[in-house]
Amino acid sequence: MAVRKTWTVVHSCGHEIEHDLSNRPADRRAGFARWLEGRECTDCWKAARDSDSAGKEEWLAAKRAEEQQAATDWAQQFDMPPLEGPHKALAWGERSRHQIVTTAYTALVTEGSWDEADWAVLEEKIRTVTRAGWWIDQRDAEATDLPELLDAATSDDLGTENPFR
């Protein structure tokens, strides 16, 4: 009797697919075919995976839009100047600035020993740094290092407009 190499598998999605199992050990083929029956066929599996990643991208885009809105509202509320730089860096820079500055406020003032007057001084420095790329570069920095980081900003990072309006 010839050793059986192909199995017709009815997948969980209902598709009937002929599988060549000759690359599997002969004594494992029947078991593998049963395992396949419990799964979707490759096409259905791929389609489900692609729609998952499309859903994830949509979710990420929605999350980014939400963060962007929060950053924009915050910049308006605290009179933060618009950032400067390549167009595609502006939104990212705004989100990065919002993130690190609000985290620093929590760490230094809300939970730390700074008072509002200390913060006001720092906030003026924050307003002077308008290069979007600078804020993007600080996105992974410790928020409590922000005062030091701002002191290290160079004239290239400072705005061309007078921030002290």
| Binding footprint of Zn ion on the chain (CB under 5 A) | 13, 15, 41, 44
Smallest distance from the beta carbon of 39 to Zn ion, in angstroms?
9
Cβ proximity to Zn ion: between 9 and 101 the closer is 9
Smallest distance from the beta carbon of 45 to Zn ion, in angstroms?
8
Cβ proximity to Zn ion: between 45 and 119 the closer is 45
Using DSSP's 3-state secondary structure scheme, residue 43 falls into helix
State which H helix or E strand residue 6 sits in.
Answer: strand 6-10
Smallest distance from the beta carbon of 17 to Zn ion, in angstroms?
8
Cβ proximity to Zn ion: between 45 and 114 the closer is 45
Q: CB 104: neighbour CB atoms within 10 A?
A: 24
CA distance 75 to 126: 11
Chain Cα centroid distance, residue 97: 15
